[in-house]
């Protein structure tokens, strides 16, 4: 038997014994160390006769590979056994609770405002705002509601001075006035914001939210108004069809004026929007009164258009099944958590209003 075969057989049988990592490493160094048996054989290659040299080298390489492979597989085996043993000890009760986290929420009114803005954004409205404290002129007079007009009675107004000049705006309509005084037509805006009336019961809160809409251009008529609101209501309630009714009403700042009802029905104690035989009033609107346009230096013979005002809190109540208006401002932690929205749920056009 050649030396090579001898080495091979000897070490194959050695390696098949039960060995620990130290012993395997010893074998490895015996074979492949600087003066290891295999290493020594390689050094011999040059001294072997040319006729046999090729075969010797070939055999040596085969044996080398075979042994090396066996050694590294043995080492792997041992190492993984060792890790497994260690991991066995590291096992934890994974059902223990995670580190605590807190979740913030967006108020349903804020979410609703974002939804409204997103819908109107798509049809070209931009958002305007105005101050909460208004003067009597912007809130009433400029809106064709002169002093001593009985319509003022419908607005229980909070005043900040005895002369009743400074007040908390009773609606978002003064933003119309501010916008039209500031810029030149056409106008296509919505104005969401806080509004105030000194009224408080189950369905009235001294502060609430409205969104005003205003579209003034050269040929805007009541058909545009109807189309715009129909579009908005459908988008807002995320339904394909909506039953809607325009009926005549009166607001000093619009002529003709309308109130808009939507059809609904109650199913299992929940309100279903867009179907049914009952009507729910949701907004007031109309064609902007020529007197209002004159007051803001817009020529009513050239420009006309519509305006509307919607109660935001009421929309939110309908869409999300909230019963009590006052709860919006009561700040109950449980309520905020329940009706609030995750801050990542930003209503957008491409993603939709809600998931």
Residues 188-247 that bind other proteins (CB under 8 A): 188, 194, 196, 198-200, 206-207, 219, 221-228, 230-231, 245-247
Q: Which two tokens stand for residue 49?
A: 């006769």
By beta-carbon proximity to other proteins, the closer residue of 132 and 299 is 132
Q: Which two tokens stand for residue 218?
A: 């050269």
Q: Please tell me whether residue 110 binds other proteins under the rule CB under 8 A.
A: yes
Element (H, E) at 209: strand 207-217
Q: Phi and psi of 135, rounded to 5°?
A: -95, 160
Instruction: From 30-38, 43-51, 317-325, 331-339, give the range in contact with other proteins by CB under 8 A.
Output: 331-339
By beta-carbon proximity to other proteins, the closer residue of 72 and 337 is 337
By beta-carbon proximity to other proteins, the closer residue of 40 and 117 is 117
Which of 122, 238, 299, 324 binds other proteins (CB under 8 A)? It is 122
Dihedral sign computed on CA atoms, order 32, 34, 39, 40 = negative
Q: Please tell me whether residue 21 binds other proteins under the rule CB under 8 A.
A: no
148: left (phi over 0), alpha (psi -120 to 50) or beta: left
Which of 41, 172, 257, 295 binds other proteins (CB under 8 A)? It is 257
How many CB atoms sit inside 10 A of residue 292's CB? 24
Q: From start to end of 252-324, where are the E strands?
A: 254-267, 270-273, 278-288, 304-311
Q: Which two tokens stand for residue 128?
A: 């305007």
Which of 86, 99, 270, 355 binds other proteins (CB under 8 A)? It is 99
Q: Please tell me whether residue 150 binds other proteins under the rule CB under 8 A.
A: yes
Q: How many residues line the site for other proteins (CB under 8 A)?
A: 91
By beta-carbon proximity to other proteins, the closer residue of 62 and 154 is 154
Q: Which residues contact 19 (CB under 8 A, 6 or more apart)?
A: 27, 74
d(CA 41, CA 39): 5
By beta-carbon proximity to other proteins, the closer residue of 37 and 346 is 346
C-alpha triplet 350, 353, 355: angle, nearest 5°? 95
- In this structure, are residues 314 and 282 in contact, taking their beta carbons and an 8 Å threshold? yes
Q: Please tell me whether residue 331 binds other proteins under the rule CB under 8 A.
A: yes
Q: Please tell me whether residue 25 binds other proteins under the rule CB under 8 A.
A: no
Print the binding letters for residues 44-73 with other proteins: x by CB under 8 A, - otherwise.
------------------------------
Which of 70, 151, 239, 272 binds other proteins (CB under 8 A)? It is 151
Q: Please tell me whether residue 292 binds other proteins under the rule CB under 8 A.
A: no
Q: Which residues contact 55 (CB under 8 A, 6 or more apart)?
A: none
By beta-carbon proximity to other proteins, the closer residue of 101 and 323 is 101
């Amino acid at each position: 038997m050649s030396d090579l075969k001898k080495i091979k057989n000897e070490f194959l049988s050695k390696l098949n014994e039960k060995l620990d990592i130290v012993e395997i490493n010893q074998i490895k160094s015996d074979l492949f160390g600087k003066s290891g048996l295999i290493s020594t054989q390689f050094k011999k290659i040059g001294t072997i006769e040319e006729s046999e040299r090729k075969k010797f080298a070939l055999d040596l390489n085969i044996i080398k590979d075979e042994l090396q492979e066996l050694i590294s597989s043995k080492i792997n085996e041992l190492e993984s056994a060792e890790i497994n043993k260690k991991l066995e000890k590291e096992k934890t009760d994974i059902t223990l609770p995670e580190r605590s986290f807190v979740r913030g929420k967006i108020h349903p009114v804020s979410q609703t405002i974002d939804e409204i803005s997103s819908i109107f954004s798509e049809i070209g409205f931009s958002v305007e705002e105005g101050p909460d404290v208004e003067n009597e002129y912007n809130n009433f007079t400029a809106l064709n509601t002169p002093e001593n007009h009985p319509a003022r009675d419908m607005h229980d107004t909070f005043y900040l001075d005895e002369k009743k000049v400074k007040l908390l705006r009773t609606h978002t309509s003064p933003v119309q006035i501010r916008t039209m005084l500031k810029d030149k037509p056409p106008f296509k805006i919505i104005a969401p914001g806080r509004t105030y009336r000194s009224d408080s019961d189950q369905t009235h809160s001294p502060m609430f939210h409205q969104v005003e809409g205003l579209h003034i251009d050269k040929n805007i008529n009541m058909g545009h108004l109807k189309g715009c609101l129909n579009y908005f209501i459908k988008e807002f309630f995320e339904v394909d069809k909506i039953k809607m009714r325009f009926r005549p009403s009166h607001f000093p700042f619009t002529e003709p004026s309308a109130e808009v009802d939507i059809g609904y029905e109650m199913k299992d104690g929940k309100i279903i929007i867009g179907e049914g035989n009952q009507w729910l009033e949701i907004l007031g609107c109309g064609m902007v009164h020529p007197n209002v346009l004159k007051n803001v230096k817009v020529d009513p013979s050239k420009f006309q258009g519509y305006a509307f005002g919607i109660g935001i809190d009421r929309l939110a109540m309908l869409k999300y099944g909230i019963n009590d208006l006052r709860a919006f401002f009561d700040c109950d932690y449980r309520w905020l958590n329940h009706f609030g929205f995750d801050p990542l749920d930003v209503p957008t056009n491409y993603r939709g209003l809600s998931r």
